[in-house]
Each structure stands twice: as structure tokens, then as C-alpha cells.
Amino acid sequence: MALLDKFAALAAQYGKLETAGANPFNVAFDEVLSPVEARIGGRSILLLGTNNYLGLTYDPAVIDAAVQATQHLGTGTTGSRIANGSYAGHRKLEQALADFYGRRHAMVFSTGYQANLGILSALAGKTDYLILDADSHASIYDGSHLGSAQIIRFRHNDPDDLDKRLGRLAGTPGDKIVVVEGIYSMLGDSAPLRDFAQVKRAHGAYLLVDEAHSLGVLGETGRGLTEAAGVEVDADFIVGTFSKSLGGVGGFCVSDMPGFDILRVVSRPYMFTASLPPSIIAAATEALHQIRLRPQLRHQLIHNAERFYAGLSALGFELGPEPSPVVSSIMPDPQTAFAFWSNLLEAGLYTNVSLPPATPRSLALLRSSVSAAHSTAQIDLALDIFATVGRQMGLIPAARRAAQA
């Protein structure tokens, strides 16, 4: 038996899906032209699956900051901050994040994935409990498993269920840390955070909110769902990423927790990996500055998201429960999701496919993400392509939209 034979069943499954069309997990762009446009072969493609929520990847000020930093400070740090030292930029970005959130402490990690690994594995010890929303991102599960705490799941977005599970632990020694997300990346739904905060307070638990998809998207100043829900005092830790609305790569955690900085010599995913290069740090710092400077980006994003969600809904697609920059259409099965994705790409529109076990309730999803950089005409073009391809495949009723117009 060959080493990789253990994946034979999975390989066969993917082989079968590929016969339905191109494989979404293998797509390569020949050229990316802007936050919302790319080229594959001779075809220009409208991008609707990038998580580039504010379109900052081509922002001139962000690019300039990255270029300057590379020219002055070089291409890489060639080591971890613990072993090889921090650059001034790392400190400056941490100060900027702490200032943005109005928190005492901030810690930067090399990816958002590693921020969850680094924080969750370090916060919860052997006798503590991590209480996770069942639909948590893989990085939350992996970070929890990296530590030695007990892990318990509660039903997705269900404060009563969290209450019940914390209730069962009453009197059990150890700290309880509840982990939820701002906007969930698969269906675009957001957590009932006010209710969670109340449950957390009632049980004396801690609360960590992963704002990966909600930073720069929700809240009066873009601080995320905790700001929008008015429960920032209850969120003991906020984790986020630079890879979505900030258009770069990297992750962070902010907190007011006394003694927070000890995590720098405890958290292995912080200590044992190279720190981010100067260009990435400078770009993230400038992108954060742009978020603060230009709230209109967020308003444009929300406008686009609502327009796209309403449009798909009117066409008859079955969507996630609420409009958000993540708009997912629920497909009957993975085969159909692959075929639909393929046909959309053929028609010039790039989206994403999400399959179980990464999705809740074993759903097959055709996932889109909207950007502030999309023009209204581009949102409408995307809707037209969904309509045409969706009708051709019999996924939605014929010409329902025309009847409404």
C-alpha cells in the first residue's frame, strides 16, 4: 500500500466532481488586474470571490507604503520576533491596532490562522474549557486542539444552548472561554452577540470574538460586530486578520487583559515562526489607516452587498439568513455546485465553492463575496450572469425576474 492510498476515497470523489467541470480548488489566474478583475487565458473575469471586502489591495497609499518599506528595510525579517527581534514597524502596527480598538494590548501574528492557533492554545490550560460555536472556522478548532484544554461545542448562533452547556459546567474548576465569530465565512450570518455577552456574564466566562470577516465591515468605525452590537466591554479578546478587508496577510489579537504580553513567550505559533516582512507590516498599517480615513468604503460595501443579496433572492436562489458581504447560494449537491461554478466562470464570473466538512449542515455552497470596489454595474452584471446560468441549469424558475421588472 502506497503512503497516500489512505486518501484514495477522497481522490476518487474529487475525480468524479471534476467531470462536472473545472476544479474550483485548482483555478489559476494568468493576471490579476484590480481588486475585482482578472484574466484567465484570453478571457477577462469579474471577481466575486476574493474576500477583498474594501478593495484595498490596489490602494495607491497602501502600495506605496509596501514599496517604501521594502526599499528601506528589505524583503524579509528572516526570523521570529522572539529570536531575531522586532522591527519598529511591528511595534507601530501593534500600537495602531490597540489604538483603533481602544485596547491596551495588541499582538501581531504571521496569519489569521496562526493568530487563532497562538491565542487559543495559550489562553486555555489543561483544566480550562474552550466553548466553541459548532460552525467555527478550522483555525479555531485547530488552535483549540493545539492546546490542552477541554473543548466543547454549542449549537451555532444559539445563546440558549451556550447557556445550557455552561450551566452543565457550573462548579467545575477551570476557566471557561467562549469563542464565536463576527460574520461566519460560509453563510455570511453574524452572531447574536448581545445575547452571547449576557450568557457569558451570567456564567463568569471569558469571550473571544474572531472578527476575520467583520473588521472594516461592521460597526460605526469598522471595528466589527462587537462594536455594532455595543458589547465591546464584554469581548475580552478580539482576533482578526489582515488578509480580507485589509488586503494583505497576517493576523492579530487585541485585549485589555492584564499581563497580556506574557503570551509572547508562551504562544508557540507566535514564537516559532518568522515575523511578517516589512512590506506586509507597512501595508497593513496603511490599510488600517485607510479604513479609519474612509468610512465611505464600508458604506459602499454594505450597499453592494445588500443589492447583490436582494438580487439573488429575487431570482429565486436559496441564500444564507441575512445580507452580508458573504453571499452564499445553497446548492442541491456538490456536483451541482461544481457545475454551476464552472459555468459561471465560463461566463466570466469567478466565485467560490464550499463543501462539507468545511460547511455547516453538510451544505454544498456556491459562495460569493462582494467588494466595495465593485461598481453598481458590475453587481448587476454578476446578477445577470447568475440569472442566465441559473436558468440554463434549472436552478431557479424561468424568467421570474423579467416578470417582476
Partner 1 sequence: MNTSVTDIHETVFGMLRAKLEKPIALTDDTHIVNELGLDSVAVMDFVMEIEDRLDISVPLDRIAEVETLGDLVATVRALKGVQ
Q: Which residues are catalytic?
A: 185, 213, 244
Provide the mask over 317-356, with x wherever binding to ligand PLP is found by CB under 6 A and - wherever it is not. ----------------------------------------
**Residue placing its CB nearer to ligand PLP in the complex, 87 or 252:** 252
Residue 116 interacting with ligand PLP (CB under 6 A): yes
**Residue 220 class from Cβ within 10 Å (0-12 exposed, 13-18 middle, 19+ buried)?**
exposed
> Which distant-in-sequence residues (6+ apart) come within 8 Å of 320 by Cβ?
186, 187, 188, 189, 326, 327, 328, 330
Residue 143 interacting with ligand PLP (CB under 6 A): no
Provide the mask over 152-181, with x wherever binding to ligand PLP is found by CB under 6 A and - wherever it is not. -----------------------------x
Residue type, 152: I
Which residues is 47 bridged to in the sheet? 350
Q: Are 275 and 85 in contact (CB under 8 A)?
A: no
**What is the C-alpha to C-alpha distance for residues 279 and 47, in angstroms, rounded to an integer?**
25
Name the one range near ligand PLP by CB under 6 A: 37-45, 85-93, 160-168, 206-214: 206-214
**What is the C-alpha to C-alpha distance for residues 169 and 165, in angstroms, rounded to an integer?**
7
Residue 245 interacting with ligand PLP (CB under 6 A): no
Instruction: List the alpha helices (DSSP H) in 153-192.
Output: 159-168
The site partner of 303 among partner 1, ligand PLP, none (C-beta below 5 to 8 Å per kind) is none
Name the one range near partner 1 by CB under 8 A: 21-29, 41-49, 355-363, 366-374: 355-363
Q: Which residues between 125 and 184 bind partner 1 (CB under 8 A)?
A: 134, 144-145, 150-153, 155, 165, 168-169
**What is the C-alpha to C-alpha distance for residues 369 and 388, in angstroms, rounded to an integer?**
19
With CB under 6 A as the contact rule, the residue among 157, 190, 243, 378 that binds ligand PLP is: 243
* DSSP β-ladder status, 43-47 and 349-350: parallel
- The DSSP 8-state label assigned to residue 266 in this structure reads T
Q: In whole angstroms, how close is the CB of 303 to partner 1 at the nearest point?
A: 35
Q: Return the sign of the alpha-carbon dihedral for residues 291, 292, 293, 295.
A: positive
**What is the C-alpha to C-alpha distance for residues 15 and 11, in angstroms, rounded to an integer?**
6
**Residue placing its CB nearer to ligand PLP in the complex, 138 or 399:** 138
All 3 cell numbers of residue 2?
502506497
The most distant pair of C-alpha atoms in the chain lies apart, rounded to whole Å, by: 66
**Residue placing its CB nearer to partner 1 in the complex, 140 or 291:** 140
Q: Is 362 left (phi over 0), alpha (psi -120 to 50) or beta?
A: left
**Residue placing its CB nearer to partner 1 in the complex, 144 or 245:** 144
The site partner of 169 among partner 1, ligand PLP, none (C-beta below 5 to 8 Å per kind) is partner 1
Q: In whole angstroms, how close is the CB of 211 to ligand PLP at the nearest point?
A: 8
**Residue 349 class from Cβ within 10 Å (0-12 exposed, 13-18 middle, 19+ buried)?**
buried
Q: Which residues between 250 and 289 bind ligand PLP (CB under 6 A)?
A: 251
What is the Cα 397 distance to its own chain's centre? 32
Q: Are 44 and 362 in contact (CB under 8 A)?
A: no
Whether residue 360 has a cis bond before it, omega within 30° of 0: no
Q: In whole angstroms, how close is the CB of 286 to ligand PLP at the nearest point?
A: 18
The site partner of 232 among partner 1, ligand PLP, none (C-beta below 5 to 8 Å per kind) is none
Q: In whole angstroms, how close is the CB of 258 to ligand PLP at the nearest point?
A: 26
The site partner of 189 among ligand PLP, partner 1, none (C-beta below 5 to 8 Å per kind) is none
Q: Which residues lie near partner 1 (CB under 8 A)?
A: 134, 144-145, 150-153, 155, 165, 168-169, 356-357, 362
Q: Which residues lie near ligand PLP (CB under 6 A)?
A: 111-113, 116, 137, 139, 181, 185, 210, 212-213, 241, 243, 251
